[in-house]
Structure 1
Amino acid sequence: MTSFSPELKQALSLVQKPGRYTGGEPGCVYKDKNHVDVRMAFCFPDTYEIGMSFLGEKILYELLNRHENWWCERAFMPWTDMKEQMERLHIPLYCLESKDPLSEFDIVGFSLEYELCYTNVLAMLDLSGIPLRACDRDERWPLIIAGGPCVCNAEPMADFFDVMQLGEGEEMLQQICATVEQGKKAGWNKERLLVALAQIPGVYVPSFYDVAYLPDGRVESIRPNRPGVPERVTKAIVKDLDAFAPPENFVVPMVGAVQDRASVEVLRGCVRGCRFCQAGQIYRPFRERSPRLISDSARVLCHNTGYDELSLTSLSTSDHSRLEEILDRLNGWAEEDHVSLSLPSLRVDNFSQSLVEKTTKVRKSGLTFAAEAGTQRLRDVINKNITWEEIERGCRIAFSEGYTSVKLYFMMGLPTETMEDIKGIADTAQKVVDLYYSLDHAKGKGVQVTISVACFVPKPDTPFQFCAQDRRETLREKQRYLLSCVHSRKIKVNYHDSATSVLEGVFAKGDRRLGRVIETAYRKGAFFDTWEEYFDYDRWLESFRECGLDPDFYNYRPLGLDEVTPWSHLDVGVSHGHLVREYEKALRAETTQPCNRHCSGCGANKLLGGPCFDYSQNSLS
């Protein structure tokens, strides 16, 4: 445990939650920095409480620290009170384990989970004294890298990173660390190191690619500017999840994390093919962990951390082909160890009484179903593949098991949406309320149905990437209309701010020129844009004007089906032809079967080298 400097002690005495910045939590890894070859700072560009909820950080933290000569530490975006004290007392941003500034590390890595965190990345670099732009950093500075889902369109942040990781990090990040170690020992300059890193599958070096634009502002081409650099970067994946056991010893937060529980990832990918869902496309192909490994790792994790709640995480946990076996194995010890189970990503169409019984042996948590759209026509457009009868059945089971509250997720602003679809959201919620009171056991008890409505944002690598986003005024009109359609006090409506969704849409489909806008907005004081009290939409509009760019060009303009996009050179495995086919089916309100029933030919199986499923053995086919 390193000591605190007088300046840091003073700063900690003046902030609201000093536990965010002290380190020393159970599960921390400490090493002698004089006896390691590679030091990496894993940075999450949001507060400690949010970053410590991120399972990806836990996976990579344990994986890298298994190497005797590597040391991975953690850093988070300090809250405004601590940021102010650090600037006043000239305390550079540091990692929690060693208290060393980020500038002293070999690698500084950021996880890009959400577009509105981009200014926090710049704030963290600035607090560290590290130049923001990659072109201003030579060998004296750490290698600045990024990973996470936003890298599928890396371009808005391309100017700030030396390396960006496309795909899954388990093998890729270890290869990056090994190459950095080799380069340090051989005395490579930065150019030589970047050339070597560019040979690693999934590694994208933005400075090695030139972007040309058409007179109307669209991208004309993205081409390598050095020999030996791939024309397209193909994402890295883990073919066999069982080859990488889940973490068995989390760092247990000192300040309560948003998701403060043991978590085990049970599968990757998704079989569903929802046309709005970026994660369901970019994490393909579908891969499962074995029930024995899940159960054994989970028990060790709960024992090591002391957690009494275990979450089985994935995009759609109830789609695991052996979920009942997993739950049976977990319940073989969970009740005895007083550990409760939660399945946060259940699908209403395969929700069952058996699942309820097997996940409520210790305590009962809330239920959430993602209906996404209020009418069957629109659910078919987005390929949700659920019906009102299935929603009704799921809610009936929940109510019969004693649940008195249900949360329903919806989106508004979906392609082809009408006001009738918006009214359908309220109608669906009302039908759930009516269902509850139609049951005999409901007498004397109240029900609460919460509808949470997000503004749809078209994302890269989805069939809806070609669609324009609803304008802010239209979204506001739809929000007002929805509220007017709700007539029961048993229904609570939550909805998102349309201004943040508009900006999210700009950066989701934006190009490299937006780096100027992000830096300009940051210099004007933009950070913590995910927090309502700090988000200033007018400041962003002013930054766009100063940079001579029109935000409407990026999110209010449909893309041509043959248009070169800012992410055309980044291959997540799903083919362009598949996206076009699914987009055209959406316009006809035609559905596509889930992957485990019939192959839709998305192209992701090339990453496995063979079929994703054995359809001859699949009873669903």
Structure 2
Amino acid sequence: MIKKEVEKILQYVQKPARYVGGELNSVVKNPDEVALRYAFCFPDTYEIGMSHLGMKILYGLVNARDDAWCERVFAPDTDMEELMRKNNIPLFALESGDYIKDFDIIGFTLQYELSYTNVLNMLDLAGIKLFSKDRTELTPIICCGGPCACNPEPIADFFDIVFLGDGEETTEQVLDLLKYCKENGLSKHDFLLKAKDIRGIYVPSFYEPSYNDDGTLRELKPINGAPKKVKKAVVADMDTCYYPDKFVVPFINIVHDRAVEEIFRGCIRGCRFCQAGFTYRPIREKSVETINKQSKALIDSTGYDELSLCSLSTSDHSCVNEMLTSLIDWTAKDNINLSLPSLRVDNFSDELVEKLNMVRKSGLTFAAEAGTQRLRDVINKNISEEEILHTCTKAFDNGWTTVKLYFMMGLPTETMEDIEGIANLGMN
């Protein structure tokens, strides 16, 4: 429900639908009937945050519990933030319109380093003290997770706990613990002492840093019985792991406005530049049966006419052809566009092309990464220029009119010759 003070300023912002909630499949509960309120914060605008699969998974996971209510929070754009500050309106959650400073747990997903300052700005806008040491009450617990949490030290002073690795099982354990601490009148310190024993949970305040003369970190000394090394949480079985059967459907266009099915985590490749390849290992696949069942449920509950298969390298699924056959059986009949991002140049097989020719064509994306063979060898991207050109030719010969190639700039040992190679390869 939109608060009156928020409703009054919406007429002055560019996209008011970012801030009103009420979308199809959004979850509304009675706050008096839940033990925990969770604000899931994406430190960027609505259109970007609503495209994030991790938020969709954890939003559904928490709301599947009878004792908890997860609501979405996004960074307001500059026009909305200016009006909120001018009218003393704190940061609020979309589902209820309530101010998040009164929630029990506030979680941020860290997808890229440039969002770090947005995290602090959102906490400030919410009226919450920035430093963990200054927040002495049990709630709200301020936490973070995501790929950038693999090195949380630059922002460790601001978070009470950090989620490392997969978040599904760890989130459940943290919520159970916080509920127990609230019901038994335990303190924030008591909560942190117990949280440190959960695999995948890092408590920054339980480590004392020491530094070298040049200011670099020498040691993080554990205290209060904290482990010397924190092991990341890993979901072992993707078939039994929670996955939502519905997504919130936005009122406005977002970056990735479609149904998304995660088909596996991890990657069989060893590209040296790829943070995600190391962060999400080991590789864990979903079965074809699970992929098909979950995909159908999402299309039925959202009304989307496009299904994207999500992974670090879609065509590396061990049963990719069987999977596509299963999906095509119903997507072609229902006129659903099947999108396969993150394809490998070196396994774009004739059989895969044959399967893709049976569905509505979308764009193809291949990651070449570097413009010269020398630099591709340096980063362990084991594809040749001949393979790149052969794959693009095969795509054009089979009816595709566009092919997208990904390249990176700033790789180690890069020279201007490598940069020029990007243009040269594109012109071939």
Structure 1: gaps spanning 5 or more residues: 432-621
1:396 aligns with 2:393: yes
Contact 2:245 2:301 in 1 (8 A): yes
Using the alignment, how far apart are the partners of 1:358 and 1:92 within structure 2?
51
**Secondary structure, aligned partner of 1:100:** coil
**Secondary structure, aligned partner of 1:333:** helix
The structure-2 alpha-carbon separation of the partners of 1:425 and 1:37, relative to structure 1 and needing over 3 Å to count, comes to: same
Provide the residue aligned with 1:350 in structure 2: 347
Provide the residue aligned with 1:196 in structure 2: 194
Using the alignment, how far apart are the partners of 2:151 and 2:288 within structure 1?
34
TM-score by length of 1: 0.68
Amino acid at match of 1:158: A
Amino acid at match of 2:245: E
Q: 1:247 aligned to 225, 238, 244, which one? A: 244
Using the alignment, how far apart are the partners of 2:253 and 2:103 within structure 1?
28
Provide the residue aligned with 2:170 in structure 1: 172
Contact 1:340 1:361 in 2 (8 A): no
Deviation at 1:140, TM superposition (A): 6.0
Deviation at 1:420, TM superposition (A): 2.8
Using the alignment, how far apart are the partners of 1:45 and 1:384 within structure 2?
32
**Secondary structure, aligned partner of 2:282:** coil
1:129 aligns with 2:123: no
1:258 aligns with 2:255: yes
**Secondary structure, aligned partner of 1:230:** coil
Q: 1:28 aligned to 26, 29, 43, which one? A: 26
**Secondary structure, aligned partner of 1:242:** coil
Contact 2:365 2:403 in 1 (8 A): yes
Deviation at 1:354, TM superposition (A): 3.1
Using the alignment, how far apart are the partners of 1:156 and 1:379 within structure 2?
31
Provide the residue aligned with 1:336 in structure 2: 333
Using the alignment, how far apart are the partners of 1:104 and 1:361 within structure 2?
52
Q: 1:37 aligned to 14, 29, 35, which one? A: 35
Amino acid at match of 2:237: D
Amino acid at match of 2:265: R
> Which structure exhibits the higher relative contact order, with contacts defined as CA atoms closer than 8 Å and separated by 6 or more residues?
1
Using the alignment, how far apart are the partners of 2:216 and 2:101 within structure 1?
37
Contact 1:245 1:293 in 2 (8 A): no
Using the alignment, how far apart are the partners of 1:5 and 1:221 within structure 2?
48
Q: 1:414 aligned to 399, 411, 415, which one? A: 411
**Secondary structure, aligned partner of 2:331:** coil
Provide the residue aligned with 1:47 in structure 2: 45
Provide the residue aligned with 1:521 in structure 2: none
Using the alignment, how far apart are the partners of 1:423 and 1:86 within structure 2?
47
Contact 1:199 1:229 in 2 (8 A): yes
Deviation at 1:378, TM superposition (A): 1.6
Provide the residue aligned with 2:88 in structure 1: 90
Using the alignment, how far apart are the partners of 1:145 and 1:161 within structure 2?
5
Contact 1:352 1:397 in 2 (8 A): no
Aligned pair count reads: 428
Deviation at 1:162, TM superposition (A): 0.5
Using the alignment, how far apart are the partners of 1:305 and 1:140 within structure 2?
38
Structure 1 residues 441-496: Cα deviation after superposition (integer angstroms, max 9, x where no partner): xxxxxxxxxxxxxxxxxxxxxxxxxxxxxxxxxxxxxxxxxxxxxxxxxxxxxxxx
Deviation at 1:245, TM superposition (A): 4.4
TM-score by length of 2: 0.98
Contact 1:373 1:425 in 2 (8 A): yes
Using the alignment, how far apart are the partners of 1:99 and 1:179 within structure 2?
26
Provide the residue aligned with 2:181 in structure 1: 183
Using the alignment, how far apart are the partners of 2:243 and 2:353 within structure 1?
25
Q: Percent identity?
A: 57
1:254-403, aligned counterparts within 5 Å? 254-403=251-400
Provide the residue aligned with 2:228 in structure 1: 231
Provide the residue aligned with 1:81 in structure 2: 79
Deviation at 1:416, TM superposition (A): 2.3
Using the alignment, how far apart are the partners of 2:331 and 2:89 within structure 1?
45
Using the alignment, how far apart are the partners of 2:403 and 2:298 within structure 1?
30
Using the alignment, how far apart are the partners of 2:199 and 2:3 within structure 1?
42
Using the alignment, how far apart are the partners of 2:301 and 2:373 within structure 1?
46
Contact 2:199 2:230 in 1 (8 A): yes
Deviation at 1:98, TM superposition (A): 1.0
Contact 1:93 1:101 in 2 (8 A): yes
1:482-561, aligned counterparts within 5 Å? none
Contact 2:61 2:242 in 1 (8 A): no
Contact 2:168 2:242 in 1 (8 A): no
Deviation at 1:362, TM superposition (A): 4.1
Using the alignment, how far apart are the partners of 2:329 and 2:173 within structure 1?
38
Deviation at 1:374, TM superposition (A): 1.8
The structure-2 alpha-carbon separation of the partners of 1:367 and 1:339, relative to structure 1 and needing over 3 Å to count, comes to: same
Provide the residue aligned with 1:6 in structure 2: 4
Amino acid at match of 2:61: L
Deviation at 1:177, TM superposition (A): 0.5
Amino acid at match of 2:422: I
Provide the residue aligned with 2:220 in structure 1: 222
Deviation at 1:393, TM superposition (A): 1.7
Using the alignment, how far apart are the partners of 2:108 and 2:419 within structure 1?
38
Using the alignment, how far apart are the partners of 1:427 and 1:101 within structure 2?
53
Contact 1:340 1:359 in 2 (8 A): no
Deviation at 1:123, TM superposition (A): 1.1
Deviation at 1:358, TM superposition (A): 2.5
Provide the residue aligned with 1:114 in structure 2: 112
Using the alignment, how far apart are the partners of 1:107 and 1:413 within structure 2?
38
Structure 1 residues 110-142: Cα deviation after superposition (integer angstroms, max 9, x where no partner): 001110011111111111111111111111640
Structure 1 residues 383-423: Cα deviation after superposition (integer angstroms, max 9, x where no partner): 10111221122111111012232222222322223333233
Structure 2: gaps spanning 5 or more residues: none
Amino acid at match of 2:146: G
Contact 1:348 1:391 in 2 (8 A): yes
Using the alignment, how far apart are the partners of 1:100 and 1:114 within structure 2?
27
**Secondary structure, aligned partner of 2:72:** strand
Amino acid at match of 1:336: K
**Secondary structure, aligned partner of 1:422:** helix
Q: Which one has the largest radius of gyration?
A: 1
Using the alignment, how far apart are the partners of 1:142 and 1:157 within structure 2?
18
